[in-house]
Structures are given as C-alpha cells and as structure tokens.
C-alpha cells in the first residue's frame, strides 16, 4: 500500500535557519518539496567535481578482484590519508594503464623477433665496426632463389611457413637489391626484451597490489562520499526554500508520512519556527512510500523496476505477487529444480549479507512454487512421472495434469488475472474519482464472463445474453461520464472495439505453458544423452554420466530460470498493469536525512583535498 502523507509548511527565522536544518536532518522525516525548475545540484554544486572523483574511485576499487572491506580506523584518526589516497588511486590507475600499454608494445616487438631466434646486438655492432653491415630480409619460401646463396653472404636464419627469414652481410652503403622485403634492424635483442618485459610485469604487479590495498579503504571513501552528498542535500533544501521579509524568514514545504508525524512534536521548540500540517491537495504530487506485509515486501524490487504508483492509486505489488510466484513456478515447472532453488536459498540465507536476504527470501518462495507446479505436471529433473514406470508415482498421478490440461490451466490463470485486474481498476477509479468511473471496468467483467459462458460453458449462467448486453451498455454509456451523450457514445464504442485486445492478452498467457514444456523437454534431452554417455565405458562412463547430468541440468536451470523470471514480469507489466488501469509516475520518498552514522569521524576539513 501507499503510505498516506501530510503536507507540512515551516516558517523559520533566518537566525535559526542553519540550526533548524540540522535538526530537520537529524529527524530524517521530511521529504522537501523541490520546485520543478530547480537545477540539478549534482552538477552545479561546488562539491560536484569532488563527488564525481570519489564515486568513480569507489566504483573502480569495487571491481578489484580480492578487494576486502576492512573496518575504518578509530574516531580520532584523521581522514586526510583516505582523501590523499583518492588522488593516489587515480595516479596509480593511470600508471597501471600506461604500463599495460608499454607491455603490449613490448610483446608485439618480441613477437616480431621470434623468427630470428636469440641474437646479440652487441655482437652485430662489433662486426659492423670491422667494416661489415647486416641487413634483415623476409620473403615467401617459394620465391627464395638458391643463387642468392652463391652471389651474397646470405644466411637463412629460420623458415616459418610460408615465409623464410634471412640476413645478408655486405659492405656499408652496398645493400643488395633482392626480390625480398627488407626489415628494419631490431633496436633490442631478445635477451634485452625479455628483461624489459620481466621488469614491467613486476612493476604492474606492484601497482596491482597497491590498488588492492586502496580497495580495502572503500568504506572510508564511502564516508567521504556521504559527507559530500550531505552538503549537496543541504544546498538542495536551501534552494528549495523561499526567503521573505528581506530574507528574515524562510518558508520550507515538504511531506511527512503519517506514521512519522509524531517525530515532529516538540522537535523545533528551541528555534524561532512555526509549522503546520494539512492534507495534500488533489493536484499535488506527494512522494511515494510503499508499506506492504512480509510477503508483499519481497516483490517490491520487481514493481519498482517498472514505476512507482501515483499517490492516489493502489499499490499493485501485493496483488500481482501471488500471480508472479505461480507464473514463475509454471514457467520453470520442474520439482527438482524448485528443490535446488529452495534448499540453495535456505543455505545461502544463513550467511548472506542483510541486503541480500530479501532477494533470497523471494527466491525461496519462487522455488516453492516451482516444486508445486513440477509435481502438478509430473516433472522432476527432466523425468516425466506421467510416463514413468515408478511404482511410488502411481498414487500421485491422479493429481497430475497432462499437456492439454496444462495449456488450459495457463489460459485459466490468464483469465483470472485479467478479471482481477479489471476489478482493481474499478476500485481504483472509485477511490480516485467517483463510482460512475468504476462502471466501465465492471461492464468489461460482466461482458467477458457472459461471452465465456455463451461460447464455452454452454450457458451455464442464466440470462448470459442479457448480461452481455448489460456489460456493453456500461462500457458505451460510462466510458466518459462527464461528457455529452455523443462524446460518451463515441468514446464507449471506441473502447468497445478494444475487446480484441483482451483476447490478445489472454493468448499471451500461453507462454506459461510453452516455457514449462520447453524446460521439461530440455531436461529430458539431457537425461537421454547422459544415459547414452553412461554406456560408453565401464568406469569412465558413469563418471561422465554424473558430470554431464550436473552440468546439463545446471545450465538448464540457469537458462530456464531467466525465462521464468522475465516472462512473468512481462505479463505483469503489460497485461496485468494495463487491465488494472495502472498510471504510475510517482516519485520515491527521499527524506532530508543524515547519510552518515553519528559515531563516524567528520571529514569536513579534508573534502577539498579530494
């Protein structure tokens, strides 16, 4: 659900405004109302450049392999070394990139000298001092002429098909003209190159170790970032306020969740401030704070991927959560895979970080739904229990469904969610506008149920034809309640044409059946290939059998889980949200609050050193 908000207005004397803002920050309850034309302070703030450098350094160090977060030093330790380290991070990273480029050039040069083997430039220079010059050549082996050996002091050094590499000794200034490609004289011999490569590799290793050491200071850098963010937050609040009376009084507006109103009582008595609260006007846009039960909270990250609801409408998170769980289980559809997810998340959750536990809790429920649908369709690690000869599965088969029944179940779930979405749309419209606006979705529910009864249930319900016409009347006459009779009819007839969209939405739920079948077929194929591998040899066969089963089912679990997550999300955001009349567009509740813990050392005096 969306937590109701109260709008608060503060009038504060300029003498107490700074202290008042710090007290307001300490409360951490007010979402400051920001004018729409206020520029983004992240770019215009005097701390913007320092903030960018610190955030980039944190992102860089977070990618370091083997980096460990260590506890920051005591409260009295100066933060200057950390801030100095931020500059050192970029200097070290720049040196590392330059060294890698040099190493790449040296490897290319070494590769170009490989055909010549080991030689010494010092010896070549000694020979040159005696009056002989050495030229390097290469040509295709098929173009090499044997007469060159007789006409010149030529020595073939190496043959690397399809080319030959050779040198020619000659008097200075009398380089022979051969039908071959002349090569430049090497500037380094292989021995010197190997020494240079070893030296720069050691330097790179030193720089890597140095960066790993900086990565251990990530938490300290986060303190600096939070300090900078607090400065920009305060600037945002100051610019959002209005100064009146020649700057002697500041007016500040914001929103506070109703459950947090008690935090304001008596908090501003020491200051020259007056404030009052009121309900937001219908045209205002209070921030959105979601508050759901233990089960619904697990699905909030999914709903936030699309958009937050508008303030006046329903939060659809707890309503799509059961469907999403069932759809995931339907798509994955293997009890064995569900058991792996369930047990894996249970084991991982014991040692997981607090921020990961909600995600693992969500995976826990998704695994349970997968077990349910796997048993319902009779699939366990690719084994079809409906066709197996296992005696223990005989009693379970009476509760299982075949592929045709699974297809029908997918359509049935789609119909249920569609009708449920229309019912939510009716409730939403009645809450936001009036009851007359809720009549069109009610008409759609009546019409769809009546058509279902006429077409498939053989008129199980009495007067289904009359009820169908009743639904049509509600749609046509009340699609535009405040318009004239002609605008109502026009809008209603246009909306009635959208009935084809409902049939398209219903067919979209066939993907639940298709994904479940594909996952089961892949599991069956993996088992079949593994059984063939098992018989290739007495000892190696069973070993490869187990390895192939583990790798194959592991890959199938990962791929199928991705599809089982994405497609229910698509059904939720496209079909369900549309039928529920979801508008969205809400802005998240972001209170003006402290970003650092009170017991952390301040870094105010060192920010400009970043």
CATH of the domain at 230: 3.30.70.2170
Q: Is the pLDDT of residue 608 over 60?
A: no
Q: How many whole angstroms separate alpha carbon 516 and alpha carbon 327?
A: 10
pLDDT at 602 over 50: no
How high is the pLDDT of residue 208?
85
User: How many domains is the chain built from?
Assistant: 3
Q: What integer is the mean pLDDT of 355-359? A: 86
Q: Which two tokens stand for residue 127?
A: 């020979």
With a CB cutoff of 8 Å and minimum separation 6, the contacts of 173 are 133
φ, ψ dihedrals at 602, nearest 5°: -80, 150
For residue 369, pLDDT over 90 is answered with yes
- Beta partners for 251? 11, 242
**Local structure of residue 143 (DSSP, 8 states):** G
Mean pLDDT of the residues in the chain = 83
pLDDT of residue 458: 60
| Among 44-48, 189-193, 253-257, 272-276, the range of highest mean pLDDT | 253-257
pLDDT of residue 422: 92
Same domain, 254 and 165: no
Q: Which residues contact 562 (CB under 8 A, 6 or more apart)?
A: none
Among 33, 37, 35, which residue's Cα sits nearest to residue 5? 33
Last residue of a domain, one of 170, 188, 206: 188
| Residue 274, SS3 per DSSP | strand
Q: 478 with 536, same domain? A: yes
Distance CA 25, CA 227 (A): 13
Are 233 and 308 in the same domain?
no
Which H or E run contains 380? strand 379-380
Structure tokens at 170: 């000659």
Query: What's the mean pLDDT in 148-171?
Result: 90
Structural domain contains residue 55: yes
Looking at the fold, whether 256 and 302 belong to one and the same domain comes out as: no
Residue 67 confidence class, pLDDT cut points 50, 70, 90: very low
Q: Are 520 and 382 in contact (CB under 8 A)?
A: yes
The boundaries of the domain holding residue 159 are 119-188
Q: How far is CA 373 from CA 57, 398, 409, 457, in A?
A: 47, 14, 11, 26
Clarify whether residues 538 and 409 are in a common domain: yes
Query: Based on the domain organization, do 455 and 356 belong to the same domain?
Result: yes
43-77: b (≥16 Cβ within 10 Å) or e: eebebeebbebbbebbeebeebeebeeeebeeeee
Confidence band, pLDDT 50/70/90 cuts, at residue 468: confident
Residue 555 has a pLDDT of: 93
Of 144, 165, 188, the last residue of a domain is 188
Does the pLDDT at position 184 exceed 90? no
Are 400 and 453 within one domain? yes
Binning pLDDT at 50, 70 and 90, where does residue 268 land?
Answer: confident
Per-residue pLDDT tens over the stretch 377-390 = 888 888 888 776 66
Same-domain check for residues 238 and 307: no
Q: What's the gap between Cα 118 and its chain centre? A: 52
Q: Which tokens go with 245?
A: 């009376």
Confidence at 343, pLDDT banded by 50, 70, 90: very high
Reading the block at residue 335, the tokens are: 């009890």
**Are 406 and 445 in contact, with CB atoms under 8 Å apart?**
no
Q: What is the 3-state secondary structure (H, E, C) of 275-329?
A: EEEECCCCCCCCCECECCCHHHHCCHHHHHHHCECCCCCCCCHHHHHHHHHHHHH
What's the DSSP call for residue 252? Answer: E
Give the pLDDT of residue 462: 63
**Any idea what DSSP says for residue 348?**
H
Residue 459: the pLDDT is 56
Q: In the chain, what percentage of residues exceed pLDDT 90? A: 26
DSSP state of 397: G
Nearest to 14 by CA among 386, 359, 271, 384: 271
Cα 107 from Cα 375, distance rounded (Å): 58
Q: Is the pLDDT of residue 603 over 50?
A: no
DSSP per residue over 494-526, as a string? Answer: HHHHTHHHHHHHHHHTHHHHHHHHHHHHHHHHH
Is the pLDDT confidence value at 117 over 80? yes
Give the model's pLDDT for residue 284: 85
**542 and 403 assigned to the same domain:** yes
Q: What is the pLDDT of residue 577?
A: 92
Q: pLDDT category, 417, cuts 50, 70, 90?
A: very high
> For residue 12, what is the enclosing H or E element?
strand 5-13
Residue ranges with strand state E in 112-260: 133-140, 153-160, 163-170, 181-183, 242-244, 249-257
| Rg of the chain on CA atoms, in Å | 37
Q: What was the pLDDT predicted at 342? A: 93
Rounded mean pLDDT of 275-294?
88
For residue 106, is it within any domain?
Answer: no
d(CA 121, CA 125): 6
Instruction: Assess whether 238 and 178 both reside in one domain.
Output: no
Give the DSSP letter string of 168-197: EEE-TT-----SSEEEPPPSS-HHHHHHHH
Determine the average pLDDT of the residues in 414-425. Answer: 92
Do 160 and 227 reside in the same domain of the chain?
no
Q: Which residues pair with 11 in a beta bridge?
A: 251, 274
Peptide bond into 162 cis (omega under 30): yes
Cα 289 to Cα 284, 541, 587: the distances in Å are 15, 58, 9
Q: Looking at the structure, do residues 260 and 300 belong to the same domain, yes or no? A: no
Among 278, 307, 323, the domain-final residue is 278
Q: Would 105 be classed as within a structural domain?
A: no
pLDDT at 38 > cutoff 60:
no
- Answer whether residue 202 is part of any domain: no
Is residue 461 a part of any domain in this protein? yes
The percentage of residues in the chain with a pLDDT greater than 70, rounded to a whole number, is 90
Q: 192 Cβ partners below 8 Å, 6+ apart?
A: 121
Residue 269 has pLDDT above 90, yes or no: no
CB 103 within 8 Å of CB 200: yes
Residues 430-467 have pLDDT tens digits of: 888 888 888 888 888 888 888 887 776 665 566 677 78
Q: Which residue has the higher pLDDT, 328 or 602?
A: 328
Give the least confident one: 39-53, 64-78, 135-149, 163-177: 64-78
- Give the lowest-confidence range in 171-175, 457-461, 513-517: 457-461
What pLDDT, on the 0 to 100 scale, is given for residue 572? 93
Does the pLDDT of residue 166 top 90, yes or no?
A: yes
pLDDT at 605 over 80: no
Domain membership of residue 104 (yes or no) is no
Instruction: Identify the residue with better confidence: 86 or 535.
Output: 535
Residue 486 has pLDDT above 80, yes or no: no
**For 2, which DSSP code?**
B
Residues 512/410, Cβ–Cβ less than 8 Å? yes
Provide the greatest CA pair distance for the chain. 117
Find, among 198, 182, 194, 179, the residue nearest to 114 by Cα.
194
Phi, psi of 292 (to 5 degrees): -120, 170
Say if strands 133-140 and 31-32 run parallel, antiparallel, or are unpaired.
unpaired
The answer to the question of residue 375 being in a domain is: yes
| pLDDT given for residue 535 in this prediction | 81
Which pLDDT tens digit goes with each residue over 72-114?
333 333 333 343 457 778 888 899 999 999 999 999 888 888 8
What's the CA gap between 339 and 148, in Å, rounded? 76
Sign of the torsion angle spanned by Cα atoms 540, 542, 547, 553: positive
How many angstroms separate the CA atoms of 370 and 363, rounded?
10
Binned at pLDDT 50, 70 and 90, residue 240 comes out as: confident
Q: Is residue 204 part of a domain?
A: no
> Residue 552 — pLDDT band, cuts 50, 70, 90?
very high
132's tokens: 């002989």
Residue 150 tokens, joined:
């007789």
Residue 85 near residue 73, CB atoms below 8 Å? no
């Amino acid at each position: 659900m969306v937590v109701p908000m109260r709008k608060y207005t503060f009038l504060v004397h300029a003498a107490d405004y700074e202290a008042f803002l710090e007290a307001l920050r300490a409360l951490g309850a007010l979402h400051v109302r920001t004018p729409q034309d206020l520029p983004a302070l992240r770019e215009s703030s005097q701390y913007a450049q320092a903030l960018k450098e610190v955030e980039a350094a944190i992102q860089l160090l977070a990618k370091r392999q083997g980096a460990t977060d260590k506890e920051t030093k005591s409260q009295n330790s100066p933060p200057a070394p950390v801030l100095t380290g931020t500059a050192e991070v970029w200097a070290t990273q720049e040196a590392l990139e330059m060294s890698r480029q040099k190493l790449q050039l040296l490897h290319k040069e070494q590769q170009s000298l490989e055909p010549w083997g080991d030689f010494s430039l010092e010896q070549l220079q000694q020979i040159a001092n005696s009056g002989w010059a050495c030229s390097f050549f290469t040509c295709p082996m098929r173009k090499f002429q044997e007469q060159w050996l007789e006409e010149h002091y030529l020595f073939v050094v190496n043959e690397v098909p399809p080319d030959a590499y050779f040198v020619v000794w000659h008097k200075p200034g009398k380089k022979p003209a051969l039908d071959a490609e002349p090569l430049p004289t090497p500037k380094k011999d292989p021995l010197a190159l190997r020494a240079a490569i070893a030296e720069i590799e050691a330097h790179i290793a030193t720089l890597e170790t140095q960066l790993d050491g900086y990565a251990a200071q990530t938490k300290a850098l986060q303190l600096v970032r939070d300090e900078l963010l607090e400065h920009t937050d305060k600037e945002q609040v100051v610019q959002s306020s209005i100064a009146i009376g020649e700057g002697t009084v500041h007016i500040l507006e914001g929103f506070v969740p109703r459950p947090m109103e008690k935090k304001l009582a008596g908090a501003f008595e020491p200051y020259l401030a007056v404030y009052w609260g009121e309900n937001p006007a219908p045209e205002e846009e209070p921030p959105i704070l979601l508050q759901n039960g233990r089960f619904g909270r697990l699905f909030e990250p999914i709903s936030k991927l699309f958009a937050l609801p508008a303030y006046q409408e329903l939060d659809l998170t707890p309503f799509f959560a059961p469907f999403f769980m069932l759809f995931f289980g339907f798509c994955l559809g293997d009890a064995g895979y569900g058991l792996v997810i369930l047990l894996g998340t249970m084991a991982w959750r014991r040692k997981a970080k607090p921020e990961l536990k909600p995600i693992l809790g969500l995976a826990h429920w998704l695994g349970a739904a997968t077990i349910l649908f796997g048993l319902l369709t009779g699939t366990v690690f690719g084994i079809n229990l409906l066709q197996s000869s296992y005696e223990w599965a005989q009693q379970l088969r009476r509760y299982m469904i075949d592929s045709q029944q699974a297809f029908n179940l997918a359509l049935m779930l789609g119909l249920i969610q569609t009708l449920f979405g229309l019912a939510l749309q009716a409730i939403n419209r009645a809450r936001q506008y009036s009851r007359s606006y809720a009549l069109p979705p009610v008409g759609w529910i009546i019409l769809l149920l009546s058509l279902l009864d006429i077409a498939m249930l053989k008129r199980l319900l009495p007067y289904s034809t009359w009820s169908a016409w009743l639904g049509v009347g509600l749609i046509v006459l009340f699609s535009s309640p405040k318009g004239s009779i002609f605008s109502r009819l026009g809008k209603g007839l246009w909306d009635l044409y959208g009935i084809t969209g409902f049939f398209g939405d219903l067919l979209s739920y066939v993907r639940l059946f298709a994904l479940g079948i594909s996952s089961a077929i892949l599991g069956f194929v993996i088992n079949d290939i593994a059984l063939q591998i098992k018989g290739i040899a007495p000892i190696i066969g069973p070993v490869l059998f187990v390895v192939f089963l583990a790798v194959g089912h592991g890959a199938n679990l990962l791929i199928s889980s991705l599809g089982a997550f994405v497609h229910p999300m698509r059904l939720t955001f496209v079909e369900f949200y549309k039928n529920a009349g979801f508008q969205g567009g809400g802005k998240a509740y972001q209170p003006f609050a402290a970003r650092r813990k009170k017991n952390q050392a301040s870094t105010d005096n060192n920010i400009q050193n970043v």
